[in-house]
A and B are shown apart, each in its own frame.
Chain A
Amino acid sequence: MGATRREFLEAGAIIGAGAAVAATAAITARLDHRTTDPVGEETVRHIEVLPSVPPSPEEDVLVRMQRDLARAMAKPVEQRRWVMIIDTRKCVGCHACTVGCVAENHLPPGVVYRPVVTEEYGEYPHVQIRFFPRPCMQCDVPPCVPVCPVHATWKRPDGVVVVNYDRCIGCGYCITACPYNARSRDLGEYWLDGAAETETTSELPILGQNAPWEKTPSNEYAKSWDRTKGSPVGNARKCHFCLHRLEVGQLPMCVTTCIGRATYFGDANDPESLVSELMAAPNVIRLLEHLGTEPRVRYLI
C-alpha cells in the first residue's frame, strides 16, 4: 500500500509551513533596503584645494576635478553621485591607468581592476584602433550584488559597489554575474613567487622573494589589508573608484595617472562639476547598455 491520505496531509502541512517561511524570508529580503553604511554629517569631509590659487577657466582639468571633488566631499555621502567619463578620442592606450591602479591597490597576479581594451575597426586600408579602459562600471542596477549569498557586496549611498573582504567567502558567484568581467578572483599569488631567494638588504630593497614592496598592506576601503595574513586573498576584488583616496581629497589613481587627461571623475549631482557638463554631450555611450545594468561609467566617442 502506498502513502495514505493522512500521510499526504501531514507532509502537506510541513511543506506548506516551509513554503510560508520561505516566502516570508524571500519577501523580507526583497523589501529590506536598509543601509549599513554611515550617512549624514559624519561622512562630510572638509578638503582644501590650492587655497592660494583662485579658480580660473584655463586651469588644468585635474585641478578643476579636484575642486569638484572637494565640493562633493563637503556634502553627506548620500548626496554624492560619483561617475566616470572616459574620452576614447584622447586615450592613447598607454595603460598608465592600469599600472597606476595595480600599484595603488597592490594588485597581485591575476587581479586587474582597470584593463584597457583595444578595439580595432574599419576595413583595410582604412583601419583604426581605439581604446576602452574598463574600470568597474559601478552599475545602478548591479547584477553582482543580489547574487552574493552572504551580503558581502553592496552599493553604497554614493553609488560605489564595494566588497566586504572580511565577509566574502570567495564563491565567485558575483564574478560570473558581471557582464563586464570587472571582478577578479584573488587566488593568493605573488609577483615574486618563484623569484630568487636572495637576502633583501637596504641597498637592494626590490630584489628577492621577500622584497617588501609587494607585501606591504594596501589601503583599500581606507583599511589596512595585509595579504600575507589573509583577506583579500581568496576574495572577489574589484575597482572601487579609489574610495580611500577620495576620503582624503585625492582623485582616483587612474584619473591622476592618465597622461592624456582622458579620464574624468566627479559628482553628477553637482551641476557645476566637469562630469555633469560632459555627460550631456551627444557622443556619450555606455557599454552593454542593452543588459539594463545602468552603468555609471560613460565613454565619449
Chain B
Amino acid sequence: MQNEGVRSLGVRVFQALVIVAWVIFAVLGIQGIAERLWYGHHAANYGSYVVWGLWVSAYIYFIGLSAGAFLLSSLIYVFDFKQLENLGRLSLFVAIVTLFMALLSIWFDLGRMERFYNVFLHPNFISIMAWIVWLYSIYTVIMILELWFSLRPELARMQSAAGIKGIVARALAFSRGPLSPEQEKRCLHYLRVLAITGVPLAITFHGGVGALFSTLAARPFWHTPLMPILFLTGALVSGGALMTFIVSAFWKNGDAEYREMLRLLGKVVLGLLIFDVVLEWAEYSIPMWYGVGHEVDLLNKVLFGEFWWVFWIIHLGLGTLIPLLLLVFGGDRPAAVGLAGLLIAVTFMTVRLNIVIPGLIMPHLRGLESAYVHPRLVFHYVPSFFEWKVTFFVVAVGITLFFIGYWLLPLIPAKDKESLHGVA
C-alpha cells in the first residue's frame, strides 16, 4: 500500500515534468521552426566540410527507435508473446510517431525541402538513400495498416462512446456495431501477415541506414561492415528501452501482470544492451590495438578529445553502466527497470552523434581548413542553439502525437489507464 502511494506520487511528478518539458520544447521549437522556414540554414553550424550535424544524428536516432519499437510489436504478434501482448498496439503507434519524427528531422536538413518528391519521381536505385526512402514509404503503409487491424475490433466496440473518442471510433471502425468473431479473426490474420512481412523490411531499412554510412569509402570512421549490424542492435536496444520506459510510466494499474511485463522487458533490454556493448567493443578496440591510421585518430578524438564526456559520462556512464546495474540488481522493481529504459533511450542520442560527427571532422587532405578560411569550411562542429530548437520542435511534435493517440485510441487496455486506487 505504501508502495502504491509512492508510485502515484512518482506518476504525478513525472506528468508535471512531461508537461513542463513539452511547453518549453514547443515554445522554443516553434521559434526554431519559424527561423528555419524564414531564414533557411543561416543559423546552423554545419557547413561544407561537416555537412551533417545534429539533425542527421536525430534522424538516425528516431529511425532507430522506430525500428526497435516496430520489431518489438512484430515479436509480439508473430510469436505471440503472452506477457507482452498488451504492448503490441502501443509499440506500433510509437513506431509510427518516431518514424514521423525521424522524417521531420531529415526533412529540415534538406537544402531544398520542397523537392523531396524527386526521390519518388527520379529515384536512383543504386543509391542507398533512395532505397531507404522507398522502404520507409512501404514501412509506413504497413505500419498504418497493422495498427488499424490491431485497433479495429476495439474501435468497433467503442463506437457508442461519448465525445471525440466515439467520433474517432466511428470514423475508423468501418463497421456498424461490433465485429463478428470471424471478422475479428480476419483482422488478426492480416495483422500477423503484415507483422511477419514487416520484420525483414525493418531489418533491411535500418540495416540500410547503417549501410548508407558504411558504404562510403571516403569516410574511414563509417566504412566498416559492422555498421549495419550496429545500427540494428542499437535500434533494438534503444527502441526496446523506450517501450520499457513507456510501460513503466503509462501503465497506471500496477498489478501483477504489469510487473511481469516489466520484468520480461527488462531482461530483453539487458540482453540487447550487453550485445550492443560487445559490438561496440569490437568496433573500438580493433583499430585502437593497431594504433595507427585515420580511424584511430578519430576514435581518440571521441574518447579523449574535446567531447570525451559525451562518450564516457553520458553514453557509458548514464546510458550503459547505470542501466546495467539497475537491470541486474533491480530487475524485479518496475521503477528501476523503467528508469533504466529512460536512461538508455534518451542517452542513445549520443551514440548517434558519435557516429555522424566524428566521421566528418578529419579530412584526408590535411590543411584544407587553412587553405580557404571560412566558418563553414572547418572541421569542427558543435550544434547551434537554433539546431537544438528545431530538434526540440520535433520532440514536441512527437510528444503531442503520442498523447493524442494515447488519449483517443484504445492503444492500451482500459484497465491499465486507471490506477489501482483511482489516482492518476
Q: How far is the CA of A62 from the CA of B256 in the complex (A)?
A: 86
Contact partner of A143 among B122, B131, B218, CB < 8 A? Answer: B218
Q: A110-B48, A175-B51, A288-B364 are in contact. Are A231 and B112 (CB under 8 A)?
A: yes
Q: What sequence of 0s and 1s flags, for each residue 94-118 of chain B, a beta carbon within 8 Å of any chain A beta carbon?
A: 0000000000000001111001101
Q: A11-B197, A110-B48 are in contact. Are A147 and B216 (CB under 8 A)?
A: yes
B372 within 8 A of A: yes
B400 within 8 A of A: no
Spot the interface stretch: A47-55, A69-77, A178-186, A252-260: A178-186
B363 nearest CB neighbor, chain A only: A181
B193 to A: closest C-beta gap in Å: 5
Excluding A98-B372, A233-B111, 7 further A-B contacts by CB distance (< 8 Å) are A14-B193, A117-B367, A149-B133, A150-B115, A173-B127, A185-B46, A234-B40
Interface residues of A (CB under 8 A from B): 1-4, 7-8, 10-12, 14-15, 18, 22, 25-26, 28-30, 95, 98, 109-112, 115-119, 132, 134, 143, 146-152, 167-173, 175-181, 183-189, 193, 231, 233-236, 287-288, 291-292
Whether B125 pairs with A176 at a CB distance below 8 angstroms is: no
B260 within 8 A of A: no
B157 within 8 A of A: no
Q: How far is the CA of A30 from the CA of B127 in the complex (A)?
A: 10
Q: A117-B365, A169-B116, A169-B119 are in contact. Are A185 and B51 (CB under 8 A)?
A: yes
Which residues on A sit within 8 Å (CB–CB) of B115?
150, 167-170
Which residues on B sit within 8 Å (CB–CB) of A147?
127-129, 215-216
Q: A175-B48, A185-B48 are in contact. Are A149 and B123 (CB under 8 A)?
A: yes
B196 within 8 A of A: yes
The A/B interface has a contact count, at CB < 8 Å, of 205
B377 within 8 A of A: yes
B78 within 8 A of A: yes
A297 to B: closest C-beta gap in Å: 12
B301 within 8 A of A: no
Contact partner of B111 among A10, A148, A171, CB < 8 A? Answer: A171
Contact partner of A171 among B77, B110, B217, B218, CB < 8 A? Answer: B110
Q: A3-B77, A143-B217, A186-B111 are in contact. Are A149 and B42 (CB under 8 A)?
A: no
The number of chain B residues touching the other chain, given as a range, is 35 or more
Residue contacts A-B, CB under 8 angstroms, 20 given:
A1-B80, A7-B193, A26-B125, A111-B376, A112-B372, A117-B368, A149-B129, A150-B119, A168-B111, A169-B110, A169-B119, A170-B111, A176-B359, A177-B216, A179-B364, A188-B41, A231-B112, A234-B41, A234-B110, A288-B365
Q: What sequence of 0s and 1s flags, for each residue 265-306 of chain B, a beta carbon within 8 Å of any chain A beta carbon?
A: 000000000000000000000000000000000000000000
Whether A15 pairs with B197 at a CB distance below 8 angstroms is: yes
Contact partner of A2 among B52, B79, B201, B374, CB < 8 A? Answer: B79
Whether A111 pairs with B111 at a CB distance below 8 angstroms is: no
Q: What sequence of 0s and 1s flags, for each residue 341-364 of chain B, a beta carbon within 8 Å of any chain A beta carbon?
A: 000000000000000000110011
Q: How far is the CA of A260 from the CA of B131 in the complex (A)?
A: 48
Contact partner of B124 among A134, A151, A187, CB < 8 A? Answer: A151
- With a 10 A CB-CB cut-off, give which of A1, A3, A233, A287 has the most chain B CB atoms: A3
Q: A112-B48, A185-B47, A234-B111 are in contact. Are A14 and B197 (CB under 8 A)?
A: yes
A132 to B: closest C-beta gap in Å: 7
Q: How far is the CA of A187 from the CA of B217 in the complex (A)?
A: 26
Whether A287 pairs with B365 at a CB distance below 8 angstroms is: yes
Q: What sequence of 0s and 1s flags, for each residue 116-142 of chain B, a beta carbon within 8 Å of any chain A beta carbon?
A: 101101111111111101000010000
Q: How far is the CA of A227 from the CA of B201 in the complex (A)?
A: 41
Q: How far is the CA of A29 from the CA of B128 in the complex (A)?
A: 12
Whether A188 pairs with B40 at a CB distance below 8 angstroms is: yes
Whether B377 pairs with A134 at a CB distance below 8 angstroms is: no
